[in-house]
Amino acid sequence: MSKRVIHTEQAPKAIGPYSQAIEANGMLFISGQIPVNPLTGQVPEGIEAQTEQVMQNIGAILKEAGYEYTDVIKSTCLLNDIANFKAMNEVYAKYYTKDCPARAAFAVKDLPMGVLVEIETIAAK
């Protein structure tokens, strides 16, 4: 198996013993991204702004690894409150407009740093 660790300064640093992403055998596994601005370390207010930041972080990792949003095949969305689903989905839909990836969305009790949304992503070439 061929394995490559992906890291970019354009996405938040890992806050634990994990990599931003791992590429293995033509597949890219992006760790759950939270809405931390990698330049300021700040978390924006509101579910729309947080989802936008998460999607930008995912995009930066995709780009670093040589992938695009069109290569994404699966997303898992974690929300601190399922009432935020519609607003999260509206932002998410701007990034996946055709041949959308498979997806699951869950409400969870808490997320790191008290954020409202976290999204993990799998892409393939």
SS3 helix, strand, coil % of the chain, rounded to 5? 30, 30, 40
Q: Is 65 exposed, middle or buried (0-12, 13-18, 19+ CB in 10 A)?
A: buried
| Ranges of the chain with pLDDT below 50 | none
pLDDT the model gives residue 110: 94
Query: Can you give the residue ranges of every domain in the chain?
Result: 3-124
pLDDT of residue 1: 79
97-119 pLDDT, tens digit per residue, is: 999 999 999 999 999 999 999 99
pLDDT of residue 15: 81
Could you give the count of Cα atoms lying within 13 Å of 62 in the half-sphere of its Cβ?
Answer: 21
In contact, 50 and 117? CB cutoff 8 Å:
yes
Q: What's the chain's average pLDDT? A: 96
H-type helices in 4-124, by residue range?
47-65, 85-95
Q: Contact at 8 Å (CB) between 84 and 111?
A: no
Q: State both tokens at 10.
A: 């354009």
Closest by Cα among 114, 25, 14, 125 to 66: 125
What tokens does 117 get?
A: 């949304």
Return the pLDDT at 95. Answer: 98
Cα 115 to Cα 109: distance, rounded to the nearest angstrom: 11
Best CATH choice for the domain 3-124 from the list 3.40.630.10, 3.40.50.280, 3.30.1330.40, 3.20.20.70: 3.30.1330.40
